[in-house]
Structure 1
């Protein structure tokens, strides 16, 4: 697991699942299983923006970008790379 994905995994497990979720993996379907709902997704986005100093566009708040920890990690990586290139 890449560093961003590991941090996202740990955040979801601790803050959204309140320490549960031992079975949570990089490919667990977060939306499909109801792990992320609209409220927890916004909470996660706020944390991502603060932790990685990025601003997530509302157009990127899609099921595809938040389906799994790996997808969220890829989204964050794109934002971080874009910020580093500017």
Structure 2
């Protein structure tokens, strides 16, 4: 199973909120943060034409990035007892 990646932008309030709510997953390594200005973040940005941040993605079997369904992040957060209101698109 592929690790989930959240692409974040420094200074983005939605990113900071998502990181706070998904902190248990970031701490456990289930979710990996990749800043959009990092080399991998730029690759993801180019492949997905990302318009919204944070953007949660997974690598498919061909090594290409694809969007992780919004429901996946919501269910992850709810499993940990968080009420996650995603006001950005995934």
Fold match (TM-score > 0.5): no
Higher helix residue share = 1
The normalised TM-score by structure 1 is: 0.29
- Structure with the higher fraction of residues in strand conformation: 2
- The TM-score normalised by the length of structure 2 is 0.28
